[in-house]
Chains A and B, each alone.
Chain A
Amino acid sequence: MISISILVPLLLPLIGGLIDALTLRKGYILAACTFATALLLSLALFHVASLVPYSYPIAQNVILKIASSTFWLALAVVTLWIGFLIVVYSIGYMWLDYRRGWFWFFVGLMLTCTLLLLFSQDLLTLIIAWDGMELCSYALIGHWYRDEPERHVGEGFTIGGFRHLWSPSSAALRAVVITSIGTACLLVAAALAYARYHTLDFANMGTFNVFTAALVIVAALATCAQLPFTEWLFTAMAGPTPVSALIHSITLVNAGAYLIFKLAAPLHGSHVLTFASLFVLTSVVLMGLTGLASREVKVILAASTCIYVGLLLYDAVLYAMTLSPLCLTCAILILIGHGFSKASLFTSCGYLMHMAGTRFVDDVKVMLRYRQSYLALVLASLNLFGIVIPSAGFLFKELLVDLSSTVQAILILLSTAISIGLLMKLILYFRMLRREATVIEHVEAHELTMEYACLALAVGPYVLFVPYANLLPHLLTVERVLVTYLIFAVALFLSISLFRNRNKIPQGLLYLLKTRFGLAVLFDYCIASAVRAFSRAAQVVSTHVDRALHAGWAYLKAMRGLYSADKVLDKLLHVYLPRAMACASRSLARVHIDKLLNYMIIASIILIVVIVYVTFLL
């Protein structure tokens, strides 16, 4: 057995990305590093290698701890293999891009942060990884900083003066601001836990009170893009396709669910969880519905992501409620089933759109040549439909239904049906438009790697479920299979009939869904305007006070009155008084002293006479 520090697989993607960003910018080194990491982690999973935990004391009872357990290692292995295939795909996708260094660096950092989050043993490490992912998704969504019109996301219709169209940079801004709400909640929750238990270790924390638990749930909802925070995910589509694949399948959106898994013990028994589980499933159904109305390929896929990420989060909440180990298995299966398939869907659709030069589902017209991509699309969709029995998609759906009570089970099945509708929409549109398709003969080698990466991703769920095949006998009953196929048939029928009658759908309903129940308007218009108005008001008040204070300057000038009074007094004291004294002195000096004496004697005699006269004669 080989012993390797856990920091090696952790830092390899980051180093690879950094080297790539600084040198060739083609992505080869990152691909090699990701491959090496994935291999290393797989070896560790099969007990060929062992990962030595890393810990660093930070304060009393606060230790930065990074270690792996089987569950997290399994998740990490799946994550890294998907990540590797996405990196291979991006080599072709980013071949001629204008900001490649940026892209490779942040993809590397994103993978490192994901691993750090998976292996974190304390909240401090988790928060660092979490924020790192937030930063990476910001940087990657806003990758095309020039904001070209063809990179925008949204259909561009206007409702109530608000245009549903976002440039990459504003999409990135929305993502970082909305997820930062979750981060702030998580920070406060961590601080509350620290104030109570004086530790940030997951293992040593006691039970959370309602407020702390609610904050943790809100944090999870924000990154998992559930109501009311879904908006950032839908506009995150403004980034390059590999970025969408990365964010939607393995990284940021899963972070919330991982958080709940990590904090399951402190959350266990909290009343918030029951509410949260129903809330998440409702949000899943509602957000899935919104995708049905969209014309944009990536937005449809985003709606489907909302569904599966919601299911993962629900699974995590379920784990916190029951602490049943089956939930952990289910989480791995969801990551295998959804992660691979969603990455494949994004990459194949992205490839088709890349070739067709459009982002709208009814404009894709280059189908004929790209059979591999289409095949990948169908394979991945079939897995997500959950109808192919030996696949991860079927397993995790049935396992989840098995674990939940009736209401939740119905909601789960409903969301699956909606997901079928979403993916059928893509398949149908792409298929129907085949006849008028343009044929592109010449395909470069790097474009071929893209196609094969899609295909490899699509095959994943059909292969990797094997370690969990022992669950099949338990889940494979006649009524389950019947229900599954019944739902599929109904959903298929509905989607085809909706597709046929797509021009007859009432516009009001369509727009309600297209605006995502007005959430876009709420975030971008109502909240933004409220903040703006508040800001303007503060500025106006502030300016007035500032001006009033500057008027103090004018008052200071008005002090001139005082100044002149001062001057008058000054003159009086220092000019007129001395002058008067001098004058008096001079006139005195002119008078002869003997004459003065005579005058004084005469004057005193007169005075005496007057006094005598007055006292004695009156």
Chain B
Amino acid sequence: MFSLWSFILAEPIAAIILIIVIRFTVARLSKEIANILYMILSTISCIFMTWPVVDYLLTSAGHVIQSSLITVPLIGKVSIWINPLSAMYLLATGIVATCVSVYSLPYMLHRLEELNIKDDLSTYYILYVLYILGLVGIAYFTNLIIMFIFLELSIVTSFLLILYYGYGDRLRVALLYFIWSQIGSLTLLCGIILILMSYGSVYVPTFHPAQLPLLAMYLVLIGCLIKMGTFLVHFWLPWAHAEAPSPISAILSPVQIGIMSYVLIEILHTLYRTVLETITVPLLVYGIVTGIYGAVMALSEQDVKRFLAYSSIAHMGALVICVAYPSTLGEIAAAVVFMAHAFAKALLFMCSGYIIYRTGLRNFSALGGLYELMTSSSIMGIIGFVSLSGVFNIGLLSKIYLTLILIAALSSVIHSEATTIALVLLYIAMLCLSVAYCFYAVKRMYFGRPREISVLPYTVYMMEVPMAVLALCTILFLFPNVIMPMIHMVYKWSFLKL
């Protein structure tokens, strides 16, 4: 049996070394074969990084597995763990990353051609593997400082990916993204270091409620919110997510920003369990306002990718609602909302990328009637929108959990009837707006008379199959037999913790 480390660290690094070797051997003979090999290597390492989680979900019964490497003075033990909650986050991340890895090959070849780069895809895939490694590292590592290092890895690699392959004024957008991300992550780091100084440890599994400086909590909270791109600190998000190449948007938008909610849960729901309740109400209001703001902005957005980015902002509002109240239900709600959003949003970014690939268009006013022209991918797009709006598929489940946690939080924190009713009405408006913008987009993109658009006449299966897998995931995870065992495990784990 291999240890967790070989799956999570050794394999990706070996893959990167292999990619470099191929870059100087096979690529000299044939670029096509080399590109396919890169893709296979990157996909395998994505699968490897997810495999421990799948294995864990299939075999374990709610207890945590852990594997330590070394103990560093001052920082503490460096170890990997899988708990039921992180397993849900990691599963969604892994599935999305694997699909995107396959999808990238045709898309990035097309992008390289557009950018007039003569190189092969080795740079892209090395950065991609490192990027995914950074993202899974955030959820895998027990030590907050190490987690921060992996967060930085993901920021730097995604910055480079936007810089090299982005659209529009990509230098400016990449810098914008980088600066905002650094502000967020450095604020988070300050919070972590304050925790290290006052609590004496940043080892997550041993966290329990304690008297700690409030400043640390606010620093962590604000840092994560900046990284999530919620209302008023969101300005970088539409730029970065819209101008990144579509496969990278498909990771950036749901996973990179959503996983910060896991960091928030790791810190706030353990160390600040009691203190968090005092700011639950402002956080709930903030979450709902973010949701409404994102939905409203999405309604009148003309650019498909910017539209999707605004919808991500709306979903970050939902994640803030889940995190606002410390309870097991909230953690489950956050994981389910994250999964639903990850599948649907990645699928939709891939769809928009596919539309860009085949028509070269990304503007609602220029699209329309695409159902006629590219039926199979349109059906997947519609599935994505249905899930995103929360009308059916896993989105419905996330909507149910979100409502449950919101009402549970309201009824235990607020005692005035009028405030509850006002918040509930705002929340209903948020749900309706999210349905409205999703289906309005479906109408604008897919229905109506087909326009005079020149479409590439062939189907690219390498792009459509990963999209179909994600579409299937959104449907599959609605079935209680698939998702409920995971939720049961989270419940059991929370009992074990107590």
Residues of A within 8 A of B417 (CB): 211
Chain A nearest CB from B84 CB (Å) reads 14
Stretch of A153-161, A190-198, A455-463 with 4 or more beta carbons under 8 angstroms from chain B: A190-198
Residues of B within 8 A of A146 (CB): 369, 372, 447-450
Complex: how many Å from CA A506 to CA B400? Answer: 50
With a 10 A CB-CB cut-off, give which of B420, B421, B424, B481 has the most chain A CB atoms: B424
Contact A147/B447 with A135-B391, A177-B439 known, Cβ cut-off 8 Å: yes
The chain A residue with its CB closest to the CB of B397 is A128
Q: Are B299 and A531 in contact (CB under 8 A)?
A: yes
Q: Are A147 and B297 in contact (CB under 8 A)?
A: no
A residues 96-139 touching B (CB-CB < 8 Å): 124, 127-128, 131-132, 134-135, 138
Q: Mark B469-486, 1 if CB is under 8 A from A, else 0.
A: 000000000101100100
The chain B residue with its CB closest to the CB of A181 is B432
Stretch of B44-52, B60-68, B402-410, B452-460 with 4 or more beta carbons under 8 angstroms from chain A: B402-410
Q: Are A58 and B484 in contact (CB under 8 A)?
A: yes
Tell me if A553 is interfacial: C-beta within 8 Å of chain B.
yes
Residues of A within 8 A of B450 (CB): 146
Chain A nearest CB from B426 CB (Å) reads 11
Complex: how many Å from CA A138 to CA B439? Answer: 9
The chain B residue with its CB closest to the CB of A147 is B448
Residues of A within 8 A of B186 (CB): none
Q: Are B432 and A191 in contact (CB under 8 A)?
A: no
Q: Are B432 and A177 in contact (CB under 8 A)?
A: yes
Stretch of A277-285, A355-363, A441-449, A532-540 with 4 or more beta carbons under 8 angstroms from chain B: A532-540
Residues of A within 8 A of B421 (CB): 211
Tell me if B269 is interfacial: C-beta within 8 Å of chain A.
no
Chain B nearest CB from A180 CB (Å) reads 4
Tell me if B172 is interfacial: C-beta within 8 Å of chain A.
yes
- Interface secondary structure of A, over-half rule: helix
Q: Which of A131, A188, A196, A531 contacts B296 (CB 8 A)?
A: A531
Tell me if A542 is interfacial: C-beta within 8 Å of chain B.
yes
Complex: how many Å from CA A476 to CA B297? Answer: 61
Complex: how many Å from CA A338 to CA B48? Answer: 59
Tell me if B443 is interfacial: C-beta within 8 Å of chain A.
yes
Complex: how many Å from CA A181 to CA B371? Answer: 27
Tell me if A173 is interfacial: C-beta within 8 Å of chain B.
yes
Tell me if B392 is interfacial: C-beta within 8 Å of chain A.
yes
Chain B nearest CB from A540 CB (Å) reads 10
Complex: how many Å from CA A170 to CA B369? Answer: 13
Q: Are B439 and A195 in contact (CB under 8 A)?
A: no
Tell me if B183 is interfacial: C-beta within 8 Å of chain A.
no
Contact A191/B408 with A134-B391, A532-B299, A539-B300 known, Cβ cut-off 8 Å: yes
Q: Which of A135, A183, A187 contacts B386 (CB 8 A)?
A: A135
Contact A184/B300 with A128-B396, A176-B439 known, Cβ cut-off 8 Å: no
Q: Mark A514-556, 1 if CB is under 8 A from B, else 0.
A: 0000000000000000011011101100100110010001000
A residues 535-586 touching B (CB-CB < 8 Å): 535-536, 538-539, 542, 545-546, 549, 553
Tell me if B150 is interfacial: C-beta within 8 Å of chain A.
no
Tell me if B343 is interfacial: C-beta within 8 Å of chain A.
no
Q: Are B428 and A185 in contact (CB under 8 A)?
A: yes
Residues of A within 8 A of B400 (CB): 124, 127, 187, 190
Q: Are B300 and A535 in contact (CB under 8 A)?
A: yes
B residues 267-319 touching A (CB-CB < 8 Å): 293, 296-297, 299-301
B residues 209-249 touching A (CB-CB < 8 Å): 235
Residues of B within 8 A of A176 (CB): 391, 435, 439
Tell me if B145 is interfacial: C-beta within 8 Å of chain A.
no
The chain B residue with its CB closest to the CB of A167 is B448
Chain A nearest CB from B451 CB (Å) reads 12
Contact A188/B235 with A58-B487, A147-B449, A536-B300 known, Cβ cut-off 8 Å: no
Tell me if B446 is interfacial: C-beta within 8 Å of chain A.
yes
Tell me if B78 is interfacial: C-beta within 8 Å of chain A.
no
Residues of B within 8 A of A192 (CB): 407, 411
Q: Are B369 and A188 in contact (CB under 8 A)?
A: no
Tell me if A260 is interfacial: C-beta within 8 Å of chain B.
no
Residues of A within 8 A of B199 (CB): none
Complex: how many Å from CA A414 to CA B450? Answer: 47
Complex: how many Å from CA A96 to CA B321? Answer: 49
Contact A188/B424 with A135-B391, A169-B447, A553-B172 known, Cβ cut-off 8 Å: yes
Residues of B within 8 A of A616 (CB): none
The chain B residue with its CB closest to the CB of A99 is B371
Residues of A within 8 A of B174 (CB): none
Chain B nearest CB from A36 CB (Å) reads 23
B residues 379-400 touching A (CB-CB < 8 Å): 386, 389, 391-392, 396, 399-400
Tell me if B427 is interfacial: C-beta within 8 Å of chain A.
yes
Q: Are A195 and B431 in contact (CB under 8 A)?
A: no
The chain B residue with its CB closest to the CB of A553 is B172
The chain A residue with its CB closest to the CB of B484 is A58
Residues of A within 8 A of B424 (CB): 188
Contact A181/B440 with A56-B484, A131-B391 known, Cβ cut-off 8 Å: no
Residues of B within 8 A of A286 (CB): none
Tell me if B436 is interfacial: C-beta within 8 Å of chain A.
yes
Tell me if B5 is interfacial: C-beta within 8 Å of chain A.
no
Contact A170/B443 with A135-B392, A184-B432 known, Cβ cut-off 8 Å: yes
Complex: how many Å from CA A124 to CA B480? Answer: 11
Q: Are A64 and B299 in contact (CB under 8 A)?
A: no
Contact A191/B235 with A131-B391, A169-B448, A534-B296 known, Cβ cut-off 8 Å: no
Residues of A within 8 A of B435 (CB): 176-177, 180
Chain B nearest CB from A110 CB (Å) reads 12
Contact A131/B392 with A124-B400, A187-B431, A188-B424 known, Cβ cut-off 8 Å: yes
Q: Which of B172, B297, B301, B427 contacts A188 (CB 8 A)?
A: B427
Residues of B within 8 A of A191 (CB): 403-404, 406-408
Contact A190/B443 with A132-B392, A146-B449, A546-B235 known, Cβ cut-off 8 Å: no
Contact A538/B427 with A58-B480, A131-B391, A145-B448 known, Cβ cut-off 8 Å: no
Tell me if A59 is interfacial: C-beta within 8 Å of chain B.
yes
Residues of B within 8 A of A132 (CB): 392
Q: Are A173 and B407 in contact (CB under 8 A)?
A: no
A residues 174-228 touching B (CB-CB < 8 Å): 176-177, 180-181, 183-185, 187-188, 190-192, 194-196, 211
Tell me if A288 is interfacial: C-beta within 8 Å of chain B.
no
Q: Which of B369, B443, B491 contacts A59 (CB 8 A)?
A: B491
The chain A residue with its CB closest to the CB of B295 is A535
Q: Mark B129-172, 1 if CB is under 8 A from A, else 0.
A: 00000000000000000000000000000000000000000001
A residues 3-19 touching B (CB-CB < 8 Å): none
Contact A538/B403 with A173-B440, A532-B299 known, Cβ cut-off 8 Å: no
Complex: how many Å from CA A57 to CA B484? Answer: 9
The chain A residue with its CB closest to the CB of B424 is A188
Complex: how many Å from CA A56 to CA B404? Answer: 19
Chain A nearest CB from B366 CB (Å) reads 17
Complex: how many Å from CA A546 to CA B233? Answer: 11
Tell me if A142 is interfacial: C-beta within 8 Å of chain B.
yes
Complex: how many Å from CA A388 to CA B378? Answer: 50
Residues of B within 8 A of A546 (CB): 235
Complex: how many Å from CA A394 to CA B433? Answer: 43
Q: Are B399 and A187 in contact (CB under 8 A)?
A: yes
Chain A nearest CB from B189 CB (Å) reads 23
Residues of B within 8 A of A142 (CB): 443, 447
Residues of B within 8 A of A64 (CB): 480
Q: Which 5 A-B pairs have the closest CB atoms?
A: A191-B407, A169-B447, A180-B435, A184-B431, A535-B300
Q: Which residues of A contact B (CB under 8 A)?
A: 56-60, 64, 124, 127-128, 131-132, 134-135, 138, 142, 145-147, 167-170, 172-173, 176-177, 180-181, 183-185, 187-188, 190-192, 194-196, 211, 531-532, 534-536, 538-539, 542, 545-546, 549, 553
- Beyond the given pairs A146-B449, A167-B448, 9 more chain A to chain B contacts, judged by CB atoms under 8 angstroms and listed by A's residue number, are A58-B487, A59-B487, A142-B443, A145-B447, A173-B436, A173-B440, A180-B436, A188-B428, A190-B404
Could you give 6 example pairs across A and B, Cβ below 8 Å? A127-B396, A146-B369, A173-B439, A180-B432, A183-B391, A194-B404
